Chains A and B, each alone.
Chain A
Amino acid sequence: MSRIQLGFHINAKKCIGCFTCAMACKNMYHQPVAVLWRKLYPLDESIYPFSHRGFYSLACNHCETPACQAACPVGAYTKRVRDGVVIHDQDKCIGCGNCIRSCPFGAPQYNPVLRKAEKCSLCWQRLDQGLKPACVLSCPVEALELKDFCKADLSSLLAFPPGFPVTSGINPSVRFTLPQSPCIVRQEMP
């Protein structure tokens, strides 16, 4: 069986910052207040110095060598061989918070109701039925795309764009297209 590593392509050129992806995820899993598996990060002026805004829509990056998996003392994280999805088993979690401290992308979150960590599952139950993840399905402008990183041509995409933590040894399964600089149009006065 050939290797598969699923990951997100975040197209910031298309993203309009509507939060639909984050809300679709929230509607699907009904996390408590303040727990968001997918978040929208507006780009700072130092990165995108224009009057309209750019965004990165980020969740778990299902890294090749996940920091959360290496940090967890009870083995609650597993990486599926069939598609590279990193799954968190809440039955095993003891709520030590070590994964939350270790992940440089802030993917695992503390659920204060369950007193356990949790994170984006890449909707693996939907994937197993041949469906798209809720966030990808909901995006009205197709700014989120699921790709097989072992087969897709990623040469034109960025692994560590400005504003995204640069890490070594983890290899997050996420690639970016930067937002487009606006073109200035001068209109001739009649």
Chain B
Amino acid sequence: MKPIKEIPLVLFTILSQAAVGLTLMEGFFIFFYPGEARLWSPAVPGLAFLCLLVGLACSLFHLGHPSGGIRSLANLSVSWLSREILAFGGYGAVLGLDMVLRYQGMKIPMVLLSSFIAGLAAVAVSARVYKNPGYPALDTFWPFVFFAGTAWVLGLFLLGMICPSLASVLRPFIAVALVFELMTHFLAPIFWLSGGRAQRCTAIAHYRSFFFWIRGGILVLMTGLFVFARSDLSVLILVLLTVQELIGRVLFFNYMVHAADHIGKSLE
């Protein structure tokens, strides 16, 4: 097993996507289940804000010079990384406003809608950062699929933990989200097998990885629990879910093969 790198980015992406997922799922259920009073709980933007704040703090530690992070908005005209910082900054600002208003007893749908849109944009921009020619396996739609899946699953689970009265409503949605995660986990390497050398090597690196099979096993177990055993939401399941998301992100940051790794070799 090779040493795990980019742990700050693993934590940043998971936590920021959990925050966005919580906002998106709450917005979705407020729209479709307007009578559910607990959905407007200030704990929802509160937890999302906390996740985002911790995630952003973690992201600083992947920099060689964290104090220079303040300058990362300097290249907004071309750099998706600059845009990502701006997008999460904007999302955090609207989310913070939503949290303060709710703790003061105000429910303003426009603020929630703004955080919904800003969060969605932040995840899309974040995925675009990793779509670059250096990693042919990621120079596809897969970063967005992975990030959206994480936001979807973690958002539903965290919402279920904050609003237990919604558990029965959430269960089928969680089952569908877990099936989506399971499918993307196993389909991505199959997709890469049909690509160029770097993509094929990425698929093989995944198949040879202990992490890939552990995550697959956890996802199969959880999908089975939710689809067939109709399991309830519990802290243990949330821990299992978080572990598989962390493993998935470790694979994302550590088991992708760089295009330059195969210079001088047949790329077909």
Contacts and interface: CB of A to CB of B under 8 A. Distances in A.
Q: Do A and B come from one complex?
A: yes
B65 A115 contact: yes
Nearest to B67: A94
B72 interface: yes
A67 B79 CA distance: 10
B78 A70 contact: yes
Given A92-B71, A94-B65, A102-B132, A72 B266 contact: no
A169 to B, nearest CB: 8
Interface string A58-87: 100000000101111111000000000000
Contacts of A2: none
Contacts of B264: 41-44, 47, 55-56, 163
Interface residues on A, range: 35 or more
B129 interface: yes
Contacts of A72: 75, 79, 81
A104 B134 contact: yes
Contact of B64 (A56, A75, A101, A116): A116
A73 B75 contact: yes
Contact of A103 (B68, B79, B260): B260
A167 interface: yes
Contacts of B217: none
A69 B132 CA distance: 12
A67 B133 contact: yes
A44 B68 CA distance: 41
A56 B73 CA distance: 37
Contacts, number: 128
A105 B63 CA distance: 22
A105 B264 CA distance: 11
Contact of B263 (A93, A163, A167): A163
B135 interface: yes
B62 A97 contact: yes
B82 interface: yes
A146 interface: no
A98 interface: yes
B265 A163 contact: yes
A74 B266 contact: no
Contacts of B71: 73-74, 92, 94
Contact of A73 (B81, B133, B196, B198): B81
Contacts of A166: 196, 267
B68 A102 contact: no
Given A95-B65, A106-B258, A74 B72 contact: yes
A8 B266 CA distance: 22
Contacts of B62: 96-97
B265 A73 contact: no
A73 B64 CA distance: 14
A42 B262 CA distance: 11
B263 A56 contact: yes
Interface string A30-68: 000000000001111011000000011010000000010
A166 B68 CA distance: 34
A154 interface: no
Given A71-B132, A73-B82, A101-B134, A106 B75 contact: no
A29 interface: no
Interface in B227-263: 258-263
Given A72-B79, A97-B62, A116-B65, A106 B74 contact: no
A58 B264 CA distance: 10
B105 interface: no
Contacts of B132: 67, 71, 101-102
15 contacts: A42-B264, A46-B266, A47-B265, A67-B133, A70-B78, A73-B74, A94-B63, A96-B72, A98-B81, A101-B130, A102-B134, A106-B258, A115-B64, A164-B263, A165-B198
Interface of B: 62-66, 68-69, 71-75, 78-82, 85, 129-130, 132-136, 196, 198, 258-267
Interface of A: 41-44, 46-47, 55-56, 58, 67, 69-75, 92-98, 100-106, 110, 114-116, 162-167, 170
Closest 9 CB pairs of A and B: A95-B64, A106-B260, A115-B64, A94-B68, A41-B264, A104-B259, A46-B266, A73-B81, A73-B72
